[in-house]
Structure 1
Amino acid sequence: MRRTHYVYRAYDEHGLLLYVGCTGSPRQRHDHHRSQSAWFPYAVRFVTAGPYAADEAFALEAEVIERESPFFNTSRAEVGVKVQRHAFVRRHLQDRRRTDPSLWEDFERFCSVHREAQAEAERRYPTVDHHASYLQARNRLDRVAAEAAA
């Protein structure tokens, strides 16, 4: 079995676990996170383990996420919420298409209906704001550190 995958963890300056991931291309994945991930500016330390066989790495990643609860990983429950949102928007647009076929001919109107459906889906199926929960934890640690230094 070829060992081509790595499991990595990203930590902030306080040692808070920001993110856990799995990849066969660590450098490319790092570059992608640098340009796309909300947590990347907070990351000061990366720990990489491996190499593992791909199935071992994916299993380890899932285990670590479940056990260590990184701030910015999406849980299975949240993936389910995103699927519910997508299904709601799709059903809503299909229903509107049946009742108002001309909607598809007016792009601005379609976009408006789509935005309304997305807003309703977000209201019905809320998710955790990872960024806000991380900043709350970080602020608590900053206060503790300031009190200890005083």
Structure 2
Amino acid sequence: MRQKNSRPGHPTTCGKVERFQQTMKNRLRARPGRPTGITGLQTLIDRFTEIYNHRRPHRSLPHRATPAAIYTTLPKDLPATSRDHDAHTRVRHDRIDDTGVVTLRTGGRLHHIGIGRPHARTHVIMLINDLHVRVINATTGELLRELTIDTTRDYQPQRKKPSEP
């Protein structure tokens, strides 16, 4: 993990943190009575954080989920097992189109990945490691598709058709 600081005089770069702090201060001010010491204040902050992360639905999250629900359902990054720094990894947020397909550009070419019509208009997270792709439902964390991109094809079908004799 690496600490990153924003530039002085640019509060918009810390908007989420600033908004969280504003919400916390407003909630703490609205409570009757003031804490008498640092332990009392810490107890109130711990209680607020638990409610904020585990019970309070957030408008910015899919289906007004809680941050804890989203955090626990998404896959976690693991330490690298090799020192292969040439791998191109990225995370992409997208939505499956009406035909059940999501698109991905790799190697300068656009590839269409078949997911299935039942998942049309579903918000997904795509975890890409070179040509290996995992498509995950952004709301539930369910793995919808895992594949290795066939660079000779524009469309990546759901299943390989059996080869004819």
Question: TM-score per shorter chain, which class?
Answer: 0.3 to 0.5
The structure with more strand, counted as a fraction of residues:
2
Q: What TM-score comes out, normalization by structure 2 length?
A: 0.30
- TM-score w.r.t. structure 1 length? 0.32
